[in-house]
DNA sequence: TTGAAAGCGCTAACAA
DNA sequence: TTGTTAGCGCTTTCAA
């Protein structure tokens, strides 16, 4: 052991290679090694070679915590989803993560659907990491949450919805428009007596309201609403159809708040010998990958979730790099996918 | 502006509140504020109150990058999944994330399924964050990858599989056992002519091998294998049944490498007027939440993915806290769920 | 129980 | 183009 080492007090760190080690080995200053690694076209070929050499020989991997601390740029983006089990959002997370990764960013994932108290903690733990951006599934409604996010100064993008008062950036679509357009779509097919099967979900509730309104405006009977609570399962869809048959047997079209519920309705219809779409038309929401290949193929509402993820990543990266993002609000719209079930 | 501020050079930092600000406001030393926040039972009630007060008044959120750098403990766990779209794994990620969060850890999520070159980069970017642990979906087969992980010294847990040579910790089950047991199960039902519909997947391939072997040992005809490549869609399942009917019409049982493929097979069977399970028995793999409520209800292999996630989180946390983890390998097994389709 | 000093490993700012 | 210096915001170590 050299006396330089001995004269120092015991090292605290993790024992991993540091930039200093690399620099020493290359015979250059640490900052030069840093530049060779991070901005290679700002150094001479000679220096670059020496440093690359030292990196290869040591297996050095830069410590991004230290880099982030020094530069105030963490290269981390946080995303909040209600739950990773809700597959509608996973296409968005997939493209978000993928776009971020190509831009040199990493994704931290938080789940909010457990409880309001945990959402509060989640936000705190996210802000504590000083991410360069925050992706939110949905709109942040809680006043405290909005205040905290605003106070943190971290760029935020809210998604999967529209609001006149976004915290910062916004990429979504109008749930009210969907409710209305689906109502028109079904009424144009000659349907007159409607049911709506919905999970407890604030965005779905807005689709319901607009759907009811459009139906009422045309003078049709009131929409029969079945609320399945928190359960978004296929089974709830099956049970809902039974409820409908029992309490409102004259229904001729059912709009569901998710594809899975719609699949449940169709499954039970088959069991009960009810023809879809002849006797009852069924519409889903989400267009999860396989519903178009079922029999009958499910008619549904498609959201371009992949696009939401990609655009959100781009927004966040641009902001992190100090660019001015414009526009700051994008309506990605939706499309009604007409297949066999309606 | 006070002259204290003027005398300093321009601040570099992010401008957010720091521990120093809080300490100054509370009239204590920074380290005391730190202790009040992190280990409140090591300080006097008086100090605690003063600091809590200052925190509330400033909205201070500790900077975990700085904390992590100083303590060499990031409180970050990285997880690698092939893709967030593969819903079998999402239950595991859900419970992993949830357990980690309750332990004060955060999850970074990386997707590996894009390309080998990206997997290399992914690993590098993960190690650069100095996570306290790494969760891997599957076994790390690449020699380079294993070496890097080992060299990093970061605790690793490999999952969803077994291997005699894990990098570190291991939580999984035997794919060969599944192939064999499902073969026995179907043969016990009197089935004799088998097909296997499989996606390109190294773990599925091991189920196929064991399945073939068990069938051959009983003297039944060779298993007819349909490989659908990278496509795990329901549609591929439908096409596979058509292939089977064309090329091996005498088949009376089909084991699929995923529930979605099995659903496709069942869908096409219905279209073709083939009775399941009477003419053909169908088995899936994964037991994704809704397949038990379809008609016919899908018989399948269930993996307790939630348990894998929970145990993995516990392993990783224990190791991060310096505890000795024992055992370091867990076989969570599997169960054959007998429903209507087989 | 509290505090002073010294870093963790890196980069911004400035200088040569 | 390269280097020196001084932190980033926190925690460890050591001392009172």
Q: Which nucleotides of C are covered by protein (CB under 7 A)?
A: 1-14
Q: Give the CA A108 to C1' D13 distance in Å.
A: 33
Q: Can you tell me the distance from the alpha carbon of B160 to that of B138, in angstroms, rounded to the nearest whole number?
A: 5
Instruction: Mutate one of B10, B11, B14, B76 to test the A interface: name it (highest A CB count within 10 A).
Output: B14
Sign of CA dihedral B144, B145, B146, B151: positive
Residue A296, token pair as written in the block: 């009958």
Helix (H) or strand (E) holding A106: strand A106-111
Please state, in angstroms and rounded to a whole number, the distance separating the CA atoms of residues B68 and B128.
13
The rounded distance, in Å, linking the Cα atoms of A322 and A196 is 45
| Token pair recorded at residue A264 | 């449940």
Q: Are residues A293 and B238, on separate chains, in Cβ contact within 8 Å?
A: yes
pTM: 0.94
Cα–Cα distance for residue pair A208/A186, rounded to 1 Å: 14
A204, with CB counted inside 10 A (0-12, 13-18, 19+), is buried
Listed by start position, the domains of chain B span: 18-58, 76-173+305-334, 175-302
User: Residue B187's Cα: distance from chain center in Å?
Assistant: 32
* Amino acid B234: pLDDT: 96
Tokens of A104: 């040199």
The pair of three-digit structure tokens given for residue B140, joined into one six-digit string: 């790390």
| CA–CA separation, B224 and B193 (whole Å) | 8
Partners of A79 in the β-ladder: A109, A135
Question: Could you read off the pLDDT tens digit of each residue along chain A, which spans 342 residues?
Answer: 333 333 334 457 888 899 999 999 999 999 999 999 999 999 999 999 999 999 999 999 999 999 999 999 999 999 999 999 888 999 999 999 999 999 999 999 999 987 778 888 999 999 999 999 999 999 999 999 999 999 999 999 999 999 999 999 999 999 999 999 999 999 999 999 999 999 999 999 999 999 999 999 999 999 999 999 998 899 999 999 999 999 999 999 999 999 999 999 999 999 999 999 999 999 999 999 999 999 999 999 999 999 999 999 999 999 999 888 888 999 999 999 999 999
Nearest to B76 by CA among B128, B121, B133: B133
CA torsion sign, A240 to A243 to A249 to A251? negative
Cα dihedral B165, B171, B175, B178, rounded to 10, equals: 140
Nearest CA among B37, B6, B43 for reference residue B22? B37
A93 interaction partners in chain B (CB closer than 8 Å): 84
* Under-50 pLDDT residues of chain B: 1-10
Of residues A63, A84, A91, nearest to B94 (C-beta): A84
| CA end-to-end distance (rounded Å), chain A | 79
Beta carbons within 10 angstroms of residue A266's beta carbon: 28
The strand D neighbours among B residues 176-215, by Cβ under 7 Å, are: none
Return d(Cα B198, Cα B195) in angstroms, integer.
10
A289, B107: Cβ pair inside 8 Å? no
| pLDDT tens digits along B136-172 | 999 999 999 999 999 999 999 999 999 999 999 999 9
Q: Where do the DSSP E strands lie in chain B?
A: 76-81, 106-111, 133-137, 156-159, 169-172, 194-198, 224-227, 253-256, 281-283, 300-302, 329-331, 335-337
List chain B residues with CB under 8 Å of A122.
Answer: 101
Asked whether the beta carbons of B279 and B252 are under 8 A apart, the reply is: yes
Distances (CA, A) of B236 to A292, B253, B277: 13, 17, 20
Strands (E), A160-266: 169-172, 194-198, 224-227, 253-256
Retrieve residue A37's tokens. 């690694």
Cα dist from A70 to A31, A64, B14, B65, whole Å: 13, 10, 10, 10
The pLDDT score that the predictor gives to residue B11 is 52
Element (H, E) at B19: helix B19-26
Among B93, B264, B271, beta carbon nearest to A84: B93
Instruction: List the CATH code of the domain at B76-173+305-334.
Output: 3.40.50.2300
d(Cα B158, Cα B171) in Å, to the nearest integer?
A: 6
Q: Are strands A300-302 and A335-337 parallel, antiparallel or unpaired?
A: antiparallel
CA distance B66 to B64: 5
Chain B residues close to A61, C-beta within 8 Å: 124, 127-128, 152
Q: Which helix (H) or strand (E) holds A116?
A: helix A116-128
Nearest to A252 by CA among A264, A244, A260: A244
**Is residue B274 within 8 Å of residue B280, measured between CB atoms?**
yes
- SS3 call for A123: helix
Q: In whole angstroms, what is the distance from residue B30 CA to residue B20 CA?
A: 5
Between CA B97 and CA B107 the distance in angstroms is 6
Which residues from A are below 8 Å from B135, CB to CB?
none
**Residue A198 backbone phi and psi in degrees, to 5:** -135, 145
Q: Mark which residues 94-133 of A lie under 8 Å from B by CB.
A: 94, 97-98, 101, 104, 106-111, 114, 118, 121-122, 124-130
- Rounded to a whole number, what is the distance in Å from the CA of A290 to chain B's nearest CA? 6
Residue A273: how many CB atoms within 10 A of its CB? Answer: 7
- CA B243 vs CA A194, A296, B179, B224, B247: distances in Å: 41, 21, 22, 10, 6
Nucleic strand D under 7 Å from the C-beta of A18: no
Residue A116, pLDDT score: 79
| A133 beta partners | A77
**Residue of A277, A279, A300 lying closest to A289 (CA atoms):** A300
Q: How far is the CA of B66 from the C1' of D16 (A)?
A: 27
Tell me how far CA of residue A83 lies from CA of A91, A109, A114, B295, B308, in angstroms. Answer: 13, 10, 8, 27, 17
Cα–Cα dist A138/A82, whole Å: 9
Report the distance separating Cα A151 and Cα A155, nearest Å. Answer: 11
Residues 6+ apart with CB under 8 A from B67: none
Q: In the block, which residue shows the tokens 């640490």?
A: A30
Asked whether the domain spanning B175-302 has the same topology as the one spanning B76-173+305-334, the reply is yes
> What is the DSSP secondary structure assignment for residue B82, as one 8-state letter?
S
**Selection from A92, A97, A102 nearest residue A77 by Cα:** A97
Contacts B108 to A, Cβ<8 Å: 76, 106-109
- Mark yes or no for CB contact B101/A91 under 8 Å: no
Which residue of B lies nearest to A126 if distances are taken between CA atoms?
Answer: B106
Q: Is A277 within 8 Å of A63 (Cβ atoms)?
A: no
Predicted local distance difference test score (pLDDT) of residue B27: 95
Superfamily of domain A175-302: Response regulator (3.40.50.2300)
Classified as helix, coil or strand, A309 is helix
């Amino acid at each position: 052991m050299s006396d330089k080492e001995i004269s120092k007090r015991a090292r605290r760190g993790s024992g991993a290679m540091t930039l200093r080690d690399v620099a020493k080995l290359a015979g250059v200053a640490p900052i030069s090694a840093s530049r060779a690694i991070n901005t290679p076209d700002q150094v001479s070929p000679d220096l670059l070679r020496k440093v690359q050499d030292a990196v290869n020989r040591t297996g050095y991997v830069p410590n991004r915590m230290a880099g982030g601390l020094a530069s105030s740029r963490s290269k981390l983006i946080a995303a909040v989803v209600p739950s990773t089990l809700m597959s509608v959002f996973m296409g968005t997370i997939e493209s978000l993560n993928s776009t971020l990764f190509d831009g040199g960013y990493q994704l931290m994932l938080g789940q909010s659907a457990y409880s309001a108290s945990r959402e509060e903690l989640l936000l705190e733990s996210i802000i504590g990491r000083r991410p360069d951006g925050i992706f939110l599934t949905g709109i942040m409604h809680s006043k405290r949450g909005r205040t905290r996010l605003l106070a943190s100064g971290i760029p935020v993008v809210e998604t999967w919805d529209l609001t006149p008062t976004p915290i910062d950036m916004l990429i979504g679509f109008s749930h009210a428009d969907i409710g209305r357009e689906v109502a028109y779509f079904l009424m144009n097919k000659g349907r007159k007596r409607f049911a709506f099967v919905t999970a407890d979900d604030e965005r779905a509730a807005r689709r319901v309201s607009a759907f009811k309104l459009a139906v009422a405006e045309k003078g049709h009977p009131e929409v029969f609403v079945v609320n399945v609570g928190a359960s978004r399962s296929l089974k709830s869809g099956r049970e809902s159809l039974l409820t409908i048959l029992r309490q409102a047997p004259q229904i001729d079209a059912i709009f569901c708040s998710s594809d899975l519920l719609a699949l449940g309705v169709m499954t039970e219809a088959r069991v009960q010998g009810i023809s879809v779409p002849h006797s009852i038309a069924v519409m889903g929401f989400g267009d999860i990958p396989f519903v178009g290949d079922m029999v009958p193929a499910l008619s549904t509402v498609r959201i371009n979730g992949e696009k939401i993820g990609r655009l959100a990543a781009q927004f966040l990266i641009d902001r992190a790099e100090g660019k001015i993002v414009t526009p700051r609000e994008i309506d990605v719209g939706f499309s009604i996918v007409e297949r066999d079930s309606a």
